[in-house]
Structure 1
Amino acid sequence: MRHLILASLMGATALPALAEEVNIYSHRQPELLKPLTDAFTEKTGITVNTAFVEKGMVERLQAEGDRSPADLIMTVDVARLGEVKDAGVTQPVTDEALDVVPATLRDADGQWFGLTTRARIVYASKDRVADGELTSYEDLADPKWKGRICTRPFTHDYNVALTAAFLAHHGPDETREWLEGVKANLAKKPEGNDRAQVKSIWAGECDISLGNTYYMGKMLEDEEQKEWADSVRILFPVFENGGTHVNVSGVAMTKAAPNKEAAQKLIDFLVSDEAQKIYAETNYEFPVSDHVERSEIVQSWGEFTADSTPLTEISDLRPQALTLIEEVNFDG
């Protein structure tokens, strides 16, 4: 019997170790992450499983609790990153590799980190908007734009974050006045997404719209939408005494994280030069790392100075910004 037990133990030690894996809950479609996860798996042998969770991310993680299979949350917009932190479903991460992420693009407590940035810019008609006609976010409320602006709903996360940034610069009274001014300049009721607004410019329904930079790259990839993209140019407005508003795609480690060590390896990879270059080339986003250049097409859109307001401050101001948007009935 003793020999049988010994042989059994020796056989057990000879068995291959269980394959490592990382499980991601993502607000982004898995195909957007696939070039990155494939490169990580090829480099490390660690399998990455991605579940697209469009809605109810926080509620799902809270319901799963310590039994959650999710190791990482990957999402867009500081609002959603702040939401998962405030819900208590994340844990702090400290690692030297993350030093490449600027302080303004990470949570002060290490609960989330920006991986890429995108600017909230203005798409302007090449035919109907002159050079230098719009230079600031404040200009959007100027009556000269009456009947000329299109936008997706301002209650959407991207516009709430922009409003929160405006609030950080100007305070509630001026922000309310600005919202009323922009609303008065709308060509039609807010609807659709950022690309739909560019289509409206192409169709002659308005002259300018708000949008994220990377949508230009996505439209140029699409045979139908390329015509829309070719009808506009990108303007980088700034806040008075500030820069251009930027937001992030980011990552956070869940509180449960059953594969914590492998998840940490993936986070470190995502801020590496290799992954940052993949982000730049495939998703038309700006790398957070200063070591990596923007893609050629992104560079063609021009240079800008990012606003220095920390995203944590913008996240904290979101509830107040949303209240102001609803009080002026912007989308009504």
Structure 2
Amino acid sequence: MRLRRTLGAVTSAALVAALAACGTDEAADAADADAATAADAAGDGEALVIYSGRNEDLVGPLLDDLEAAVGVPVEVRYADSAELAAQLAEEGDRTPADVFFSQDAGALGALAKAGLLAELPDDVTAAVRDDLKDASGSWVATSARARVLVHDADAAPEVTGFDSVDDLLDPAYTGKIGYAPTNASWQSFVTALRVMRGEDGAEEWLTQFAALEPVDYEKNGAVLQAVNDGEVAVGLINHYYWYPLAAELGEESMNAQIHFLDADDPGALINVAGAGTLAASDQPDAAAAAVAYLLSEDAQQYFADETAELPVVEGVTSTVYDVGSLDEMTGARLDLNDLDSLPETQALLEKVGLL
């Protein structure tokens, strides 16, 4: 059974407040109520409880296999990663959760900095390179994705020579760039921009970008489709949206092509989905085994073949998509924990009129 309880509307900004309020009586009362509800649904705590910020349609089959691998019943609560992180902060040591499976590194970084995640065993984290895990072992990446530029090969062939998002700030692209302002991946890119260039540098770039009158779409997939249909010449997306569409339509039939910047640039951000175990878990061994399963060859192959994501364990490559490997890519150099400042990112985007 999966817990499909809908969490209350928790804004990303509330995550910071929730983290700050972990020790308050109000947060403790709310945590008691939530923990009791989830414990009842999970069979009085006998099951391993996973809070998943990853979509059920995407990872549901994988988590079914995880249950068999760890040898205990598994209950999964699905919601947005930021909402779940805020919920975990409110619940504190009363949480029923044993594992947090996040869509992005920022939510994991926030919980790690708040001391809510346990240190994972060395034999779990050893499989993943240092820049894709927390330095103290609080969380580890389970798959990765790269930011890329998608472009109309006929309308904007010059994009193949770009090595920075600064190359987009050309008046020639006015009204011809697509982006997804409410999407978490765009906001993670802007957070990386802030971390790498500072608040003033990020505001300057965003102000110039806004002046180009970019066309907003709801999701990355819509940006990709818009480029392929000729609505816009360039878009900013994650790499894994392109490969399934190219497989469906035939790469030779695609107007849209992708370009990896391969540079120490915010536009080359390599972000991750990842997992950590809760410090409050009363099943630490089973929780660690669950994270270890997400790094197993079977799980890594699932990410590579089913989602076109980049495996984080050496030696696993997709048998379906010609994506390449992380070792072949150069990305933005930053501590992924620092992607936790989403409220500040949203405030800046509102200030410059992009949200």
Which category of TM-score, normalised to the shorter sequence, fits these structures?
0.7 to 0.9
Determine the C-alpha separation between the residues in 1 that align with 2:118 and 2:173.
Answer: 46
Partner of 1:311: 336
Partner of 1:281: 305
Runs of 4+ in 1 over 6 A off after TM superposition: none
CA contact (8 A) 2:179 2:214 kept: no
Cα gap change, 1:49/1:308 in structure 2, threshold over 3 Å: closer, same or farther? same
Cα gap change, 1:48/1:231 in structure 2, threshold over 3 Å: closer, same or farther? farther
Segment of structure 1 superposing worse, 194-203 or 55-64: 55-64
CA contact (8 A) 1:115 1:287 kept: yes
Query: 1 or 2 for the larger relative contact order (CA 8 Å, sep ≥6)?
Result: 1
Give the AA of the match of 2:229.
A
Partner of 1:209: 235
Shift of 1:143: 2.0
Partner of residue 116 from structure 1, selected from 138, 143, 149: 143
Partner of residue 48 from structure 1, selected from 57, 74, 85: 74
Alignment of 1:1-332 (within 5 A): 21-54=47-80, 56-131=83-158, 132=160, 134-153=162-181, 156-188=183-215, 190-219=216-245, 230-239=254-263, 244-299=268-323, 304-312=329-337, 314-315=338-339, 318=342, 320-331=344-355
What is the TM-score normalised by the length of structure 2?
A: 0.75
Shift of 1:108: 2.2
Give the AA of the match of 2:137.
G
CA contact (8 A) 2:171 2:212 kept: yes
CA-to-aligned-CA distance 1:219-242 (integer Å, 9 cap, x gap):
45778xx89x93311111245678
Give the AA of the match of 1:60.
Q
Unaligned segments of structure 1, at least 5 residues: 1-18
What is the TM-score normalised by the length of structure 1?
A: 0.80
CA contact (8 A) 1:89 1:254 kept: yes
Determine the C-alpha separation between the residues in 2 that align with 1:68 and 1:311.
Answer: 25
CA-to-aligned-CA distance 1:1-37 (integer Å, 9 cap, x gap):
xxxxxxxxxxxxxxxxxx9742211111223223323
CA-to-aligned-CA distance 1:200-231 (integer Å, 9 cap, x gap):
223332111111112224545778xx89x933
Give the AA of the match of 1:263.
A
Determine the C-alpha separation between the residues in 1 that align with 2:200 and 2:274.
Answer: 31
Structure 2 residue matching 1:110: 3-state secondary structure? coil
Count residues in correspondence: 308
CA-to-aligned-CA distance 1:92-114 (integer Å, 9 cap, x gap):
22332311222211122322211
Determine the C-alpha separation between the residues in 1 that align with 2:210 and 2:266.
Answer: 23
Cα gap change, 1:71/1:138 in structure 2, threshold over 3 Å: closer, same or farther? same
Determine the C-alpha separation between the residues in 2 that align with 1:328 and 1:159.
Answer: 15
CA contact (8 A) 1:21 1:262 kept: no
Structure 1 residue matching 2:157: 3-state secondary structure? coil
CA contact (8 A) 2:70 2:286 kept: no
Cα gap change, 1:129/1:301 in structure 2, threshold over 3 Å: closer, same or farther? farther
Determine the C-alpha separation between the residues in 2 that align with 1:120 and 1:197.
Answer: 13
CA-to-aligned-CA distance 1:103-156 (integer Å, 9 cap, x gap):
211122322211111001111113312153533211121222222101111x54
Shift of 1:291: 2.5
Determine the C-alpha separation between the residues in 2 that align with 1:330 and 1:63.
Answer: 30
CA-to-aligned-CA distance 1:234-260 (integer Å, 9 cap, x gap):
111245678821100011212322322
Supply the RMSD in Å over aligned alpha carbons.
Answer: 3.1
The structure having more radius of gyration, on CA atoms, is: 1
Determine the C-alpha separation between the residues in 1 that align with 2:341 and 2:353.
Answer: 19
